[in-house]
Structure 1
Amino acid sequence: MNRNFWIIALISFINALSFTILIPVLYQYGRQFQLNDFQTSLLFAIYAISQFFATPIIGKLSDCFGRKPLLILSLAGTVVANLMAGTAASAAVLFFARFLDGITGGNASVAQAVISDVTTPETRAKAFGINGAAFGMGFILGPAISLLAQKAALNTPLGKSFGASFLVSGAIAAIALFLTIFFLPETLKTKAEKAQNIFDLGLEKLVTGLLMPKIGILLIINFLTGLTFNIFTFAFQPYFLKVLNQNSDGLALMFLLFGVLAVIMQTAGISQMTKHLQLAQILFLGLLIRSLSFVLMPIWKDIYYFIAVCVLFSLLNSVVQPMISALLSLNARPEEQGTVLGINASYLSISNGFGPVIAGLLVNQEHPESYGYPLYLAGICTFLVLGLAFVKRKDYAVKVVR
């Protein structure tokens, strides 16, 4: 791995840290504004839906104008949006801040395009694994920093507010912005042809991308895996808090556990697995363990049992997204890396929008046992996605020569 890869990996880590600081508090912050469960699910959804439309535009523009300027734009949007959210005086301002963060939030796909620019096909799966580990490292430190921010805010005008986590998130995103401006060189060697008119922004690729040989089926698999995972993600927090009767400190520690195990798997684990298994086989294994874990989680309402299942879940769940990203990158032409990975991020984003809404419709805060329903649904649907991925494997599987 060359110097530019490690620079973008560091930027990805800091960007992930900024993102993961918010994960343990977004649900609770919404409730602080007196939003009910369904309204809080819309807080998750508005970010994802706006990102769905913005990401392919950012991806295509990065193919035409370069990675660096678009990464700068995306990170600057995150800084401004999180500072707005952290000081929001009303739910309307909070919703607008989440929309702004989504509409400028193409930094993950642009970072993936940079990785595609600076790696070879033989090292790309490992590179995406390391990049995934950077996100996992964010899970390790992000929840802990979020918890510290909340504690520190008690002695400030913010008081007992989860908005402090947004302010810290914005400050950390500003560090990633600084590194991008001053240390990351442009990595795009061959720029795509510029659009003939200002309306040609790549949105048509959201549809035509599904028809691209080898790419389309991976986009569908990515959307479905994201949908089922985000049904789980929204239900996880209220289930942990209300059914298992735990507190926000324990929730932060759970995300810390997820991060530690994900980093172990995405650094040492993926490297070892790729020596013995093809990328599609690793994807199948990750989806199988994910589906089983979702179904097992709500069966027994005991915190120690729940933690044990979460350990199993965390180890193999963390290989799913790096494998999909690697397979997409290996099946795309060099000049289409930013576009394809941008479309992929868009479908993942829209799944982030639908998943919480589906979960929000299934739960009823007057009946805490209903918080287990989305977990069962996510498990069953993930198993069906595994079946689709296995049946269609010949359409996208890539045999990597070791």
Structure 2
Amino acid sequence: MKTSKSAAIGFIFVTLLIDVMGWGLIIPVMPDLISQLKGIPINEASAYGSWLLSAFAITQFVFAPMVGNLSDRFGRRPILLFSLLGFGIDYIVLALAPTYAWLFAGRIIAGITGASFTTASAYIADVSTPETRAKNFGLIGAAFGLGFVIGPALGGLLAGWGIRAPFYAAAVLCLVNCLYGYFILPESLSKENRRPFSWARANPFGALMFLKKYPAISGLAFCFFLFIWQRRRYKATGTILPCIVLIGTKKW
């Protein structure tokens, strides 16, 4: 059992690492691809790239609670494998995209299946003991950091083979990990601990209303929102201030 849990935690780490690496792999070449498909100078591609990011973010906002509820109903394993398969398909669509509209289709697919982070976190919670919970959740941060270091560097190297090569590489990573997980990843949520699917919890507004019941979680969620918002706006400057302010209020 201990060996099985260790293998599962290792798989979750690799899954998160590959997800983040997949993002990093395409960062160096996405402006060139947009420029090529739209027939515009590369300095104008950022505006179109922002629309792609918005499509992904909005779709994930809408579908993440639904995917989370599906994992509560059917288990973590099928949802994680489905997410990996979806990301693999997304990168193939991006790699083959003949027009800019295809990039939108790929980002929407990724948004729908992009709940692997939350489902992976739930998986870690399922298999962790009180003694190992902090260590296991620390792997999430490690996967993010390592993925954003390796991904762009590898994407830049692969770009030498063509601007679509990093997309194929990201697709292969996701699909190979999906196949690997199919054979080695055990289910973490027992049938007696599963709960029926609920539309009240499966929509984003219902999920936000859930935070009102738990002030501690709502404080952490708001802190994380400010962290992400300021990091994107100020490029990782000034991000610690909201956390200090929230801690100082002692409302957690």
1:147 and 2:4 are equivalent in the alignment:
no
Unpaired segments ≥5 residues, structure 2 = none
Once the two structures are aligned, what percentage of the paired residues are identical? Answer: 31
Q: In the alignment, which residue of structure 1 is the partner of 2:28?
A: 24
Q: In the alignment, which residue of structure 2 is the partner of 1:168?
A: 169
Deviations 1:101-138 (A, max 9, x none): 11111111111111111112332222122232123222
Equivalent residue for 1:391, pick from 245, 248, 251? 248
Q: In the alignment, which residue of structure 1 is the partner of 2:71?
A: 62
Q: In the alignment, which residue of structure 2 is the partner of 1:106?
A: 115
Provide the C-alpha distance between the structure 2 equivalents of 1:144 and 1:384, rounded to a whole number of angstroms. 30
Moved more, 22-31 or 73-82: 22-31
Offset of residue 11 of structure 1: 2.6
1:192 and 2:194 are equivalent in the alignment:
yes
1:53 and 2:57 are equivalent in the alignment:
no
Larger Rg over CA atoms: 1
Offset of residue 6 of structure 1: 2.0
Q: Which amino acid aligns with 1:202?
A: A
Per the normalisation by structure 1, the TM-score is 0.55
Where do 1:184-223 residues align within 5 Å?
Answer: 184-189=185-190, 190-195=192-197, 199-200=199-200, 202-203=202-203, 204-213=205-214, 214-223=216-225
Offset of residue 187 of structure 1: 0.6
Where do 1:2-401 residues align within 5 Å?
Answer: 2-3=5-6, 4-32=8-36, 33=38, 34=40, 35-153=44-162, 161=163, 163-189=164-190, 190-195=192-197, 199-200=199-200, 202-203=202-203, 204-213=205-214, 214-232=216-234, 290=236, 294=237, 379=238, 382=239, 384-392=241-249, 394-396=250-252
Per the normalisation by structure 2, the TM-score is 0.85
Alpha-carbon contact 1:51-1:105 (below 8 Å) kept: yes
Q: Which amino acid aligns with 2:226?
A: L
Offset of residue 97 of structure 1: 1.0
Provide the C-alpha distance between the structure 2 equivalents of 1:131 and 1:384, rounded to a whole number of angstroms. 23
How many residues are matched? 240
Provide the C-alpha distance between the structure 1 equivalents of 2:247 and 2:28, rounded to a whole number of angstroms. 34
Offset of residue 86 of structure 1: 1.2
- Note closer, same or farther for the CA distance 1:210–1:200 as it changes in structure 2 (3 Å cut): closer
Provide the C-alpha distance between the structure 1 equivalents of 2:213 and 2:193, rounded to a whole number of angstroms. 20
- Note closer, same or farther for the CA distance 1:384–1:128 as it changes in structure 2 (3 Å cut): same
Provide the C-alpha distance between the structure 2 equivalents of 1:111 and 1:171, rounded to a whole number of angstroms. 20
Provide the C-alpha distance between the structure 2 equivalents of 1:207 and 1:192, rounded to a whole number of angstroms. 21
Q: Which amino acid aligns with 1:96?
A: A
Alpha-carbon contact 1:79-1:170 (below 8 Å) kept: yes
Alpha-carbon contact 2:27-2:155 (below 8 Å) kept: no
Alpha-carbon contact 1:75-1:107 (below 8 Å) kept: yes
Secondary structure at the residue paired with 2:188? coil
Alpha-carbon contact 1:209-1:215 (below 8 Å) kept: no
